[in-house]
Structure 1
Amino acid sequence: MSKKVIHKANTRGHANHGWLNSHHTFSFARYYNPERMGFGLLRVLNDDVVAPGMGFGTHPHDNMEIVSIPISGSLAHQDSTGTQEVIRTNEVQIMSAGSGLTHSEYNGSKTEPVNFLQIWVFPKEQDIDPRYGQKAFKPEDRENKLQTVISPEKDGEALWINQDAWFTLGTLKNGFSEEYTFYKPGNGLYAFVIDGEVEVDGEKLSKRDGMGISEVDKVSIKASGDAELLLMEIPMK
């Protein structure tokens, strides 16, 4: 029997700092909900809007896999590995904090806001050398299909993550239907609707809704309108 948890968009934690408007699917910063401490090894899913020219100053991380996915706008990144990059729409960034690093993230534009998803996943191996990865993915390769953008395969087309996790994006037309088959038995799947409406295992989800499902090996995905979807397959323990 499958286990499900549904997080509607309007039940998320919310913090508006003026320069930063952030919605938290899971407990983060001043938002604490003991029933929302993550999904398996997925710890943070933040939906952040940063004002033009503003951002997060230099701060430390360790032993966390940190993924950034711009939805609109661009994100300027700098870290203690010497990396300086701008991440734009249709690109994905991953950073292994590993044994420890510092970084900053700012809106890459002085005139337009940036909206991006910030996602934290607990790592498989502790204290690895800090590492940065970034890649552009062709939007046409996810039109009415599922495009893998993060995987544990170091030599694959997706970005490498230090965990048995797979992230998939889809730009789906109304009526799209497909079965998602898990890469690894025992993993769970967390679906996040970036835009539109999707049915996941028969559950209707709308823009910015999230749903976790586990103890299954396949999940049905159906677009009940044009939709943008992020799927995160995550170890449960």
Structure 2
Amino acid sequence: MDTKTAQYTFHAADSRGHANHGWLNSHHSFSFASYHNPERMHFGTLRVLNDDTVDAGMGFGKHPHENMEIVSIPLQGDLEHQDSMGNSSVIRQGDVQIMSAGTGVYHSEYNKSKEDLVKFLQIWVFPKERNIEPRYDQKSYPAEDRQNRFQRVVSPEEDGSIWINQDAYFSLGNFEAGKSTKYDIARKGNGVYAFLIKGKATIDGHELSERDALGVSETNQLDIQFSEDSELLLLDVPMGLR
């Protein structure tokens, strides 16, 4: 950690934008739809981080996207996906899904269950190259591979994770209380938006509770301790927008 130059932005869970549409209960880390906060437009190339809960049998009807990298990470339940590229699939806890919207794509996302809630994180990242051919991918990641360590699930490299059209790296980790770790920034000039899915953690001296987030830039390493059993998502993204 470079304590002389590191920059920190703390986002408390209860400071996020919130919209409850009945069938959809959504918390927005950044400006989205009717929630507009000029101080929370993006973190580098990270544009959207929505924490969504969808009622049984409900979901997002077919709608368009273009020139955005869209990642979904289910936390509970089954999410059914269909798109104009001909993909039809179900993503579950342990899966990660990405859609490069590129020149344009339509898709829908529904809670497959008629009884249970589905909870997932919806993440948008500005692309590195615009107007690419739309593409879709998803992969299941074993939970044991992120026990007390970080498991990379998204990257621009051929490293076993799903590919993203950006110099961005997403990692998930499940850590026991009392554990500590370090995280090395994946690429020079990147920053990390750390989102604590559950538990309690301290990152470079900043304390986080469930659904709190910390943006860190101008450093090359994070120092992390866990005071409760925790699940942490790290979004390692370029800080400059083209």
Q: What is the TM-score of this pair, normalised by structure 2?
A: 0.97
Counterpart of 1:15, as a letter, is A
Runs of 4+ in 1 over 4 A off after TM superposition: none
Matched residue, 2:133? 129
SS in structure 2 opposite 1:163?
coil
Q: CA–CA distance in 2 between the matches of 1:150 and 1:233?
A: 10
SS in structure 1 opposite 2:33?
coil
Counterpart of 1:112, as a letter, is D
Which of 95, 108, 111 in structure 2 is aligned with 1:104? Answer: 108
Which of 203, 208, 227 in structure 2 is aligned with 1:205? Answer: 208
Q: CA–CA distance in 1 between the matches of 2:29 and 2:186?
A: 24
Pairs within 5 Å for 1:57-206: 57-153=61-157, 155-206=158-209
The CA deviation at 1:222 is 1.2
The CA deviation at 1:73 is 0.5
Q: What runs of 5+ residues in structure 2 fail to find an aligned partner?
A: none
The CA deviation at 1:176 is 1.4
Cα RMSD after superposing both structures: 0.6
Q: CA–CA distance in 1 between the matches of 2:177 and 2:196?
A: 14
Q: Please say if 1:216 is aligned against 2:203.
A: no
Deviation string, structure 1 residues 172-214 (Cα, Å, up to 9, x no partner): 0011111111111110000000000111111100000011000
Matched residue, 1:48? 52
Counterpart of 2:153, as a letter, is V
Q: CA–CA distance in 2 between the matches of 1:134 and 1:193?
A: 23
SS in structure 1 opposite 2:144?
helix
Counterpart of 1:132, as a letter, is Y
Counterpart of 1:20, as a letter, is L
Matched residue, 1:228? 231
Q: Please say if 1:36 is aligned against 2:40.
A: yes
Deviation string, structure 1 residues 9-58 (Cα, Å, up to 9, x no partner): 00000000000000001000000000000100000000000000000000
Counterpart of 1:69, as a letter, is I
Q: What runs of 5+ residues in structure 1 fail to find an aligned partner?
A: none
Deviation string, structure 1 residues 82-120 (Cα, Å, up to 9, x no partner): 000000000000000000000000001111000000000
Q: CA–CA distance in 2 between the matches of 1:168 and 1:71?
A: 15
Matched residue, 2:14? 10
SS in structure 2 opposite 1:188?
strand
SS in structure 1 opposite 2:178?
coil
| Aligned residue pair count | 236
Q: CA–CA distance in 2 between the matches of 1:221 and 1:189?
A: 13
Percentage identity across aligned positions?
A: 59
